Structure 1
Amino acid sequence: MKKFTLRPPVTIATILSLVVLAAALAVLAEGIRTQSGSFRWVVHTREVLENVQSTIAHTSDAEAAQRGFLLTGSPGFLANYQQARDAVLPQVAEVRALTRDNPRQQAALRDFEDALRARFDLLERVVQEKQAGRPPTLATLESGRQLKERILALATSIRAEEQHLLRERQARVEEGRRELIAAFATTAGTGIALVVMLWVLSSRDAARLLARAQALSESEANYRYTIELNPQIPWRASAAGAIETFSDRWVSLTGQAREAVPGSGWSSAVLPDDRPAMLQAWAQSVASGEPFDFEFRIHAAGGQVRWMRSRAAPRRDASGAIVAWYGLTEDIHARKESELALGRRLAQIETIYRAVPVGLGLLDPNLRLAELNDALAELGSRPKRDMVGMALTSALPAPLGEQIRAVLEQLVRDRRQVSGIEFSSNMDRDSVRQRDWLASFYPVLDGAGLEGVVVALLEVTQIKAAQRKLIEANQLLEQRVEERTARIAEANAELRAFAHTVAHDLRAPLRNVEGFSTALLEDEGERMSADGRMFAERIVAAVVRMDRLITDLLAYSRLSRAELRLERVDLGTVVRTVLRDLEAQIAESGARFDLAWPLPAVQGNATILVQIVANLLTNAIKFVDQGVTPRIAISGSRDGRTVRLLISDNGIGIAPEHREHVFGVFERLHGHERYPGTGIGLAIVKKGLERMDGTVRIRNREGGGTTFELAMQAAD
């Protein structure tokens, strides 16, 4: 056995290795110590963030428990509130202790603690007021909201500062980690390099032989893996063309038995339609020595048909004689299917290109026709072959070609598409018939500039003629509408005058009937029979009802035609006015009102609003079951630019199926005998709101009754 001894270079290299390794280990130890300190700071920062989050959570728990106590009065909520409150300030103290090295955070924590103390003082005061039976004031609630926002803002600021510190410290940790890895890698690399150097120095010849053996083994392994893993199928054939070796992928792809492939057995997997041509091409290549390249189809193992491509080239000896063939077979099914699909698609496009009634053409960079379809050739009145190579402006009839010239010049200059351009001209100078076209031009660009222009030209003569007729018809229609509108306005004016005259003429005899009936009751009532007196009283009641009906009809008519002046109106003033006007009716019915002051202001008309509210309150007082005291609630709210006025009652209610048509004129759900009225009140309500750009809808009221919701525009 050969004996290895240390030589002076090896000894020097060994000592140098130990020194370098010792220095590297010292640097590595220092890096570990620094990394440990940086990690402790990251943990410290996370503790601060967790404590701040816990403080906010305890504060939220205290507020939630306090709200629960205010809503329910439950001692359990009060105990939870006190428990959460007592946990907050110690948590803040813990955060202060953790951030004592940060003056900025200390200042923010002082403000944070002051805000928390003020918030809990306010919460405690609200609890005490609740225990004393006093509700919290709006000022108290607003102050609480502001304190809560300040606490959240301060907490956000503190968290942001700590998160900033956390990012910096994490960055230092990451930088230290990279430095530590680099130091470790350097140490390891240096050690490995020195060990390798020692090994090379001590066993140069043995390493050289081992390297050669490893290189040979690696080369063989690489070749084997390349053959086995290559998606292509490598194969080798003899000089006579018989297959000798091949990849197992051919067996797995075709399902052939391995022993059936050598020689010409492989050809049985080829489709019978392709097999003769392929064998002939292979025989010609073997005979001539020319490279082989052929596409064919095979029966795959799964039963499907797949496209393949085989290529082969000969290997020759020093004399030029062929000693073997080396080839590759690849699966090109996806590519071939794409090519076939592309061919079918191109054929479809070509069919559309030829059949579409739009003139299509491709211009070269010199704006000459390189290709065109039949529709464009028909427009030029020339055979297609004669138009190819002609300038488009010359190929088309002169009037149209001259108009297109300016558009093409603009396209060449701007390099942007020009679409939807309309052209009109007389194709035949002797003809007076105008023809119209719609054209679009699309530049074909590449990095070098303009490659061509795609032209699309559609004749729209019939469409334009129809458009012109439509415009004429619309103008005639507008003229007729204006004439009919004028006639309708005149008829409405006559109708208003007629309604006023009829109402006046009706009221005169009604007043006479009422006067005579009243006088009859007063003067002859004692001498009249019971039936006679009843009939006279019914006459008076009918006259009063008829007069009220005429009054409501005139009011509805005026509401429909009057010019309204919209201004700021206080709904509170409107409600007070109506209540004052209905004092007698309210006193007689004993009605009770629940008024939620203040009510918002709206953009409306005060007179109409008084009329609307009066109608709704009158109905609320009137439509109740016998023996029931009317109870009416009025409230208002504002949502953005919309004000909603709610009028709720405990009356007989309105069924859902009647809620739409009760707003119609003369629509009644009950007879005059039980609930007197004209049937116009709700129609006036709806019409008045519509004139002020408002709406009204009916909602169910919990416990019975009806709620009318009036939506109007809020005052500025």
Structure 2
Amino acid sequence: MKRSAQQITVGLGVTLVLILANAVVSYRNILKVFENERWVSHTYQVLNELEATLSTLKDAETGQRGYLITGEEQYLQPYQSGIAEINTHIKSLKQLTADNPQQQQRILPLEGAIALKLSDLEQKIKLRREQGFEASQQVVRTNRGKQIMDGIRQQIADMKNIENQLLVSRIKESKANLQRTILTFTVATFVSLVLLGLVYYLMRRDRALRQQEAQKLRQKSERLALALDAAKMGSWDWNITTNEIFWTIYHEIIFGYEPGKPNRSYKEWADRVHPEDLPRVEAGIQTSRKDQQDFQTEYRVLLPDGSIRWVNSFGRFQYDAENHPNRMVGMLNDITDRKQAEAEIRQLNETLEERVIQRTLQLQEANDELQAFAYSVSHDLRAPLRAMQGFAEALLEDYGDVLDNLGEEYAQRIVSSAQRLENLIQDLLTYSRLSRADLQLKVINLTDVMKEASAQLEGDLKQQQAQVTITSPLPEVIAHRPTLVQAIANLLTNAIKFVDVGVQPEVQVWAEMRGEWVRLWVVDNGIGIAPEHQQRIFRVFERLHGIETYPGTGIGLAIVRKGIDRMGGQVGVESKLGQGSRFWIELKRGTGD
């Protein structure tokens, strides 16, 4: 009996040490989990505040653009509200990143850039009010506002990248701590149950010893419950045979029961699980039982007063000698605070998306009105323009013998000017359509595109006696065929037009692979472009020469850039004065290459 008592004592002692150690480790891990969850939520707040800062600034810029276009004060409402909100966002960012010196260092230049952007917006609004639409548009064309906004976007993107890295690290650490806690608790519980089984076996051999040790076991169980309560975790032991469940005190508190009842039933548990979640949870238990796998899920607990708590539950089955499940042990913890935080973040994201949609619709309406205005003006201009051109041509044909040389020159100038204006209107319409057209991209062959573009320019090529050399075969690219044909035709037109007097135009065309991209070169022997002007030439109405020297509308290369941009590509030029130009366009490589 003495030996049996010693064995029981050792078994209980080891069990208690294991339980207490597990409780301490679990408690520390849970604290880490809660701390990590808090930091995860904190990181989401920083990310949302960064996004809200950029969104507010975009709203302000959108309102300002609407006012510059229309001159109506109602479009300034987003701008005015944005100014009021932006300082609040910056202050909030400073408070949220007080723990992060790296982010704190980035906020000061960001704040300065935003102040510079707001100043730029205010300057354009003032010009629009005082000097009118054209004055404000001259400032807009400097592209200074876009450069400032691009810098702000990059600064915010850099800060978001840092926060996202922190978020990944914190989520990973939180999961690791939670898994470590669950594994440690489960293993310790399993070992404790094995030891308790051995004690029970010894107690059956000696009734007196069993009674004595039973008292010790109850004491140890109370200590286990206290340890779990201290860790703010609930634990249960479900006897599947008798359908009785032992709950720890904190488990009872979570489920809204008065603590202290020795045994509880499966029904008491099921009565408190939310009716919408109960079928799913019970199905998960049966699946785990059938597949002999651990059970883990999240579900809601519906209390008598109507309030709801969220719990994260983990359980493991035990089996008898015939491999039939006869017991399930597990643990759960209250995750209501975390769920509420997640819901708030989701609601904030939904609200943000709705605001973006509303602002986008407002901007689309303004763009539609502007497009309709441009279309109407261009068509209204064409009617009197054609009349002028027609009357001038009729004057030359019908009264050419009456007019002197000066009169014929005047009439011919009217015809030429009308034709130039017609070309300008047509190019403006083409550029406008590229901004709003829905381009269906597909795989096309560059060789076929070059043939079509050359065919369109056949008359000009013969008139200029231009030599165009194409290195075939050219690869396939992903593009919109009509848009690409027009872009290449414009590049070829420039190549044969901007040459010195008496020089025969020579153009070379070839392509090269650059990873997933294809770069098409159009190289000429023309007059060249100074480095300081090589970006200007792709803007609308940017001309480097007088129309008397080199005719054109000043929109051709702008159409090229707009078209290539809409197809997801890039365009550029390499040139020196007097040494010709090397224009290039890059598009995604076709799948067949």
Q: What TM-score does the superposition give when structure 2 sets the normalisation length?
A: 0.47
- The structure with the greater share of residues assigned to helix is 2
Task: From the CA coordinates, give the structure whose radius of gyration is larger.
Answer: 1
TM-score, normalised to structure 1, is 0.40
User: Looking at both structures, which has the greater relative contact order when contacts are Cα pairs under 8 Å and sequence separation is at least 6?
Assistant: 2
